[in-house]
Amino acid sequence: MQNDSENLLDPEKIDRGTILHIEKMALFDGEGMRTVVFLKGCPLRCQWCSTPESQNPALQLGYNPDKCTGCQKCVAICPRNAILTNDGRRTVKTDPKMCSLCFKCVDVCPAKARRQYGRQVNPRQIIQEVEKDEIFYFHSGGGVTLSGGEPLVQSEFTKAILSGCKERGLHTAIETSGYVPWAKFLEVLPLLDAVLIDIKVFDPRRHEELTGHSNELIIRNIRRMDKSKFPLDLFVRIPLIPGINDSDENLSATAEFCKGLKKFKELHILPYHRLGMESYAFLNKLYHLKNLQAPSIELVKEKAARLLQKGIPVTIDG
């Protein structure tokens, strides 16, 4: 059996990881006021994903031709001659085999038609940034949350950050899809105070249709966490998607599952929104639910009330 010191990982031994951004003063990613670090990489492909830029763990260059004015400043500055004029059109095109992802073209684009998705940092940089808000964690009961994407796609990087945070006595949490091998969870569970895990759809076949994978591994991992020796709080999250997973049948099945968990603290409802649609255009990705509208606050409150009637503590996030 490993002790706590054996589970700590020296942040200096991990070179770099890839993050999207860091959000300060977050209120819906765990208890209290939190700093949330969003990492790149996710094994699921949810049809409603609001952050498609988080799916690929690598750095990415986004380009939206509808915003391009054809000024060709990007063509002039590219050190690899990877950006070419597009057959007399106003737009340009980039050869991905030539592009070195230096992102100089992003900096010079006056129309903001090009975007950088992701930046590489080392764990020590993250920890130093997190420490700046330690006073707010102390007064609010907050801490740091690692999110994504799926933070355990970069499991060593995630573990190094969590190790540094625990050494400083900070409250730690992760937001996870749950779709990772159990061995990766075992590496970080000793370093966590809370786990926020999604049950997007309870039926495994429907889950596979909507995300690309069955939820059987996710459910199994939740049960293992619940039976584990680690004294963590377990929060289950449902992204509420109108007409997709907001049926009483699906919500009731999720609620009954949560009732059987000893470490379960609360069910979080995350109402669907359309804030990430622009990223699909920049990444040239198809958004499958483009005609879907966000649920009304009245509908979300009604669904939450029904879960409360079943004896399930519920919070609406956002």
Do 207 and 189 touch, CB atoms closer than 8 A? no
Across residues 233-240, what is the average pLDDT? 96
Do 187 and 155 touch, CB atoms closer than 8 A? yes
Do 195 and 226 touch, CB atoms closer than 8 A? no
Architecture of the domain made up of 60-117: 2-Layer Sandwich (3.30)
pLDDT for 211 beyond 80: yes
Cis bond upstream, residue 311 (ω within 30): no
pLDDT of residue 208: 98
Classify burial at 243, counting beta carbons within 10 Å of its beta carbon; exposed 0-12, middle 13-18, buried 19 or more: exposed
4-56+119-316 and 60-117 agree in CATH topology: no
pLDDT band at 87 (very low <50, low <70, confident <90, very high): confident
- Compute the distance between CA of residue 267 and CA of residue 235 in angstroms, rounded to an integer: 6
Across residues 120-132, what is the average pLDDT? 95
pLDDT for 1 beyond 70: no
pLDDT of residue 275: 86
- Compute the distance between CA of residue 71 and CA of residue 113 in angstroms, rounded to an integer: 11
Across residues 212-233, what is the average pLDDT? 97
- Compute the distance between CA of residue 150 and CA of residue 188 in angstroms, rounded to an integer: 13
pLDDT of residue 14: 57
User: What percent of the chain has a predicted confidence (pLDDT) above 70?
Assistant: 95
pLDDT of residue 86: 80
Q: How many helices (H) and strands (E) does the chain have?
A: 12, 13
Helix, strand, or coil (residue 211)? helix
Quote the pTM value: 0.91
pLDDT for 48 beyond 90: yes
For the chain, domain boundaries: 4-56+119-316, 60-117
Name the CATH topology of 4-56+119-316. Answer: TIM Barrel (3.20.20)
Do 124 and 131 touch, CB atoms closer than 8 A? no
pLDDT of residue 2: 37
Do 241 and 202 touch, CB atoms closer than 8 A? no
For 240-295, what is each residue's pLDDT tens digit? 999 999 999 999 999 999 999 999 999 999 999 988 899 999 999 999 898 899 99
Q: Which of 217-226, 227-236, 287-296 has the lowest mean pLDDT?
A: 287-296
Interacting residues of 261 by C-beta distance below 8 A, sequence separation 6+: 222, 223, 226, 234, 236
pLDDT of residue 317: 86
- For the chain, the average pLDDT equals 93
- Compute the distance between CA of residue 228 and CA of residue 58 in angstroms, rounded to an integer: 33
- Tokens 């786990």 sit at which residue? 195
Query: Smallest Cα–Cα separation from 189: which of 220, 169, 219, 166?
Result: 166
Across residues 186-199, what is the average pLDDT? 97
User: Angle at CA 145, nearest 5°, toward 142 and 18?
Assistant: 150
- Tokens 């690929």 sit at which residue? 56
Cis bond upstream, residue 143 (ω within 30): no
- Compute the distance between CA of residue 288 and CA of residue 113 in angstroms, rounded to an integer: 23
Interacting residues of 133 by C-beta distance below 8 A, sequence separation 6+: 24, 25, 33, 35
pLDDT of residue 84: 92
Element (H, E) at 62: strand 60-63
Do 198 and 179 touch, CB atoms closer than 8 A? no
pLDDT of residue 11: 52
Across residues 39-48, what is the average pLDDT? 96
- Compute the distance between CA of residue 120 and CA of residue 38 in angstroms, rounded to an integer: 12
pLDDT band at 125 (very low <50, low <70, confident <90, very high): very high
For 289-313, what is each residue's pLDDT tens digit? 988 999 999 999 999 999 998 899 9
pLDDT for 168 beyond 50: yes
Across residues 123-151, what is the average pLDDT? 94
User: Angle at CA 153, nearest 5°, toward 9 and 100?
Assistant: 100
Q: Which residue has the higher pLDDT, 264 or 14?
A: 264
Q: Which of 86-100, 105-119, 134-148 has the lowest mean pLDDT?
A: 86-100
Token code pair at residue 243: 């007409």
- Compute the distance between CA of residue 63 and CA of residue 76 in angstroms, rounded to an integer: 16
pLDDT of residue 217: 98
